[in-house]
Amino acid sequence: MRKTPLLIAGALATPASAGTISVTIPQVPVAEYHRPYVAAWIEPVGGGAAQTVFVWYDIKKKGAEPGTKWLSDLRTFWRKGGRSLTLPADGLSGATRAPGTYQIPLPTNLKPGAYTLYVEAARETGGRELVSVPLGVPVKPARAAGKTELGTVTIR
Amino acid sequence: MRSALRLATAAALLSCAAPALAHRAWLVPSTTIVSGTDDWVSIDAAISNDLFFADHNPMRPDMVKIWAPDGSPAPIQNAATLHYRSVFDVRIDKPGTWKIGTTQSAVIGSFKLDGVEWRVGGRGFGGAARPPAPGAARPAGEGAPPRPSVATVADIPANATDIKLTEVIGQNNVFITAGAPSTTVFQPTNKALEMVPVTHPDELVSNEPATFRFLIDGKPAAGLNVTLVPGGKRYRDSEGAFDVTTGADGVAKVTWPFAGLFWLNATTTDAHPSAPRATERRMSYTATLEVVAP
């Protein structure tokens, strides 16, 4: 009796938008390096509300200049939805990452359609870059690459 | 204090309202976008020809008002009047859009007394932040012959003739947004020239045209000329200023040539002053806008 709802939930949990984003934070050869703030969000191609996928920032820094102070340096993310988030946000926010490649699951609540995945990175005393990747649901593999602050961004 | 303020305002307004003078009053915030509600924004305020280079006169900090996102007043903090510019801080402690700026309302003009032309209000009295002593006659201008003047309309002698008075009304603003933008501070008063954003001033991106609605006494200001001057003239050959004109609905559309700070100004005159004895009304709206790269 108890198992039935779980089975139904299990069946529903294989949505069209099951997929994985991979984001590479490149090594940047500079004297003063700070890990970048990085955020990703999804927008319907025809316009509509943006959905935040993740935001990596200095979560632990508190005091007069908390880590949230520089979130608006992710200026497009900030305008597209970051400014409306209450941070930290469960399942969205995380600490900054060192250079490397990271796998992030796509949100599972996307209806079939055409979307764009945006990934934006901003680095203290460094640059800022925005990379966009076409995202179809059901998910089709796609990729794009940044030139300075972001490496390859793939969807699979 | 009150009349001193009024005079200073008139002087500052003249600086930006009269095209012949060309001096522009401006405010430049350290940022227009803030994340969080525990922050400070530092603002420079000055009057100069080239934007945004402080090389002429400071704006008086006591002219500046702050409206919190709910429309309530907030104090300016750590104000200092320097030689060429003023600086002050705004404590950003509430979410939404803040308005910081000056509002001006004065009557200026001239009259004749025994064949001699006198001035009413205007420049000589409290020009920016280095005013003469209260009650002092207008000092001899550089090059200009000294002209007798009185401070206010109330000081015009009863036997004066050829009285010509202009009501001068204006405002000069910057907008700071903490978190999501709000619109309470754009509520029009339906008096004189006002701007009501269609595109929020803190959501300007260089690859997206912006639209702003202008109102005169609450009605669309049709055919209004709006000038935009980008900052940083020193780093270009041309000033780069451009004009847009409002349509019948009072809406002007601005296509940004590049990202940066822009000084927006609209100035117009009509024959509907609210001040008694004035025959003309000169209205101006000024704002400093920050346009970010996409």
CB contact under 8 A, A72 and B33: yes
Output the pLDDT for position B81. 97
Q: Would you call B42 exposed, middle or buried from its count of C-beta atoms within 10 A (0-12, 13-18, 19+)?
A: middle
Q: Do B205 and A79 touch (CB under 8 A)?
A: yes
Query: How many Å lie between the alpha carbon of A79 and the closest alpha carbon of chain B?
Result: 7
Please state the rounded mean pLDDT for residues A96-115.
Answer: 96
- Chain A positions in Cβ-Cβ contact with residue B36 (cut-off 8 Å): 66, 68-69, 71
**ipTM for the predicted complex:** 0.80
pLDDT for residue A93: 93
Q: Which of B15-19, B96-100, B220-224, B243-247 has the lowest mean pLDDT?
A: B15-19
The residue of chain A nearest to residue B203, with distances taken between CA atoms, is A79
Contacts (Cβ under 8 Å, ≥6 apart) of B243: B225, B226, B227, B228
Q: Of B25 and B20, which is predicted with more confidence? A: B25
User: Which residues on chain B place their C-beta less than 8 Å from a C-beta of chain A?
Assistant: 31, 33-36, 38-39, 177, 179-181, 203, 205, 292-294
> How many whole angstroms separate alpha carbon B103 and alpha carbon A38?
41
Q: Are A75 and B180 inside 8 Å of each other by CB? A: no
What is the pLDDT, as a whole number, of residue A16?
Answer: 74
B280 pLDDT exceeds 90? yes
Decide if B38 and A70 are in contact by the 8 Å CB cutoff: no
Helices (H), chain B: 2-17
Q: How far is A98 from chain B (nearest CA, A)?
A: 24
Partner-chain residue, chosen from A66, A76, A130, that has the shortest CB–CB distance to B36: A66
Q: Is residue A90 part of a domain?
A: yes
pLDDT over 90 at B57, yes or no:
yes
Q: Which of B34, B38, B294 sits opposite A72 (nearest CB)?
A: B34
Give the whole-number percent of chain A exceeding pLDDT 70. 90
Please indicate whether, in this complex, the C-beta atoms of A69 and B39 are within 8 angstroms of each other: yes
The CATH number for B2-105+167-291, chosen from 1.10.1240.10, 1.20.990.10, 2.60.40.3880, 3.50.50.60, is: 2.60.40.3880
CA distance A140 to B6: 66
With an 8 Å Cβ cutoff, is A83 touching chain B?
Answer: yes
Query: Which pLDDT does position B244 carry in this prediction?
Result: 98
Q: Which helix (H) or strand (E) holds B263?
A: strand B260-270
User: pLDDT digit string (tens) for B100-146?
Assistant: 999 999 999 999 999 899 999 876 443 333 333 444 444 444 555 66
For an interface test with B, the pick among A72, A80, A129 (most B C-beta atoms closer than 10 Å) comes out as A72
- Which of A68-77, A90-99, B4-13, B30-39 is least confident? B4-13
Residue A86's pLDDT is: 87
Question: Could you tell me where the DSSP H helices lie in B18-85?
Answer: none
- A78 to B180: CB separation less than 8 angstroms, yes or no: no
Collapse the DSSP code of B62 into the 3-class scheme (helix H, G, I; strand E, B; otherwise coil) and give the result: helix
A75 and chain B: CB distance < 8 Å anywhere? yes
Mutation target for A interface from B31, B32, B33, B35: give the one with most A CBs within 10 A: B35
Phi, psi of A19 (to 5 degrees): 180, 175
What integer pLDDT is reported at residue B123 of this predicted model?
A: 61
HEC assignment per residue over chain A: CCHHHHHHHHHHCCCCCCCEEEEEECCCCCCCCCCCEEEEEEEECCCCCCEEEEEECCCCCCCCCCHHHHHHHCHHHHHHCHHHCCCCCCCCEECCCCCEEEEEECCCCCCCEEEEEEEEEECCCCCEEEEEEEEEECCCCEEEECCCCCCEEEEC
A52 belongs to a structural domain: yes
Q: What is the pLDDT of residues A17-61, one digit of tens each?
A: 789 999 999 999 999 999 999 999 999 999 999 999 999 999 999
A148: which 2 tokens? 């300075």
Whether residue A1 is contained in a domain is answered as: no
Amino acid at B60: R
Domain annotation covers residue A25:
yes
In the predicted structure, residue B271 carries a pLDDT above the cut 50: yes
Helix (H, G, I), strand (E, B) or coil at B23: coil
pLDDT tens track for B186-202: 999 999 999 999 999 99
Q: What is residue A57's predicted lDDT score, i.e. its pLDDT?
A: 97
Any chain B CB within 8 A of the CB of A66?
Answer: yes
Residues of chain B with C-beta less than 8 angstroms from the C-beta of A75: 33, 292-293
Determine the longest span between alpha carbons in chain B, in angstroms: 63
Where does residue B250 fall: left (phi above 0), alpha (psi -120 to 50 degrees), or beta otherwise? Answer: left
Name the residue type at position B96: G
Q: Which residues have a Cβ under 8 Å from the Cβ of B289 and sit 6 or more positions away?
A: B201, B204, B261, B262, B263, B264
The Cα A19–Cα A2 span in angstroms is 29
Mean pLDDT calculated for residue range B285-294: 97
Q: Does A76 touch chain B (CB under 8 A)?
A: yes
Q: Give the count of domains, chain A.
A: 1
Interchain pair A69, B294: CB under 8 A: no
For chain A, give the mean pLDDT: 90
Phi and psi at residue B23, in whole multiples of 5°?
Answer: -65, 140
Distance, CA of B235 to CA of B228 (rounded, Å):
17
Give residue A152's pLDDT: 98
Task: Work out the average pLDDT over B28-44.
Answer: 96
- Structural domain boundaries, residue A73: 15-155
Instruction: Give the pLDDT mean for B250-265.
Output: 98
Predicted pLDDT of residue B130: 38
Judge whether A133 lies within some domain.
yes
Rounded distance, CA B201 to CA B232, Å?
Answer: 20
What is the Cα–Cα distance from B99 to B116, expressed in whole angstroms?
44
Domain with residue A140: its CATH number is 2.60.40
Q: Which two tokens stand for residue B71?
A: 């429309």
| Cβ burial, residue A94 (10 Å; 0-12/13-18/19+) | middle
What pLDDT, in 10s, does the model give residues A7-20? Answer: 444 445 566 778 99
Q: What is the mean pLDDT of chain B?
A: 88
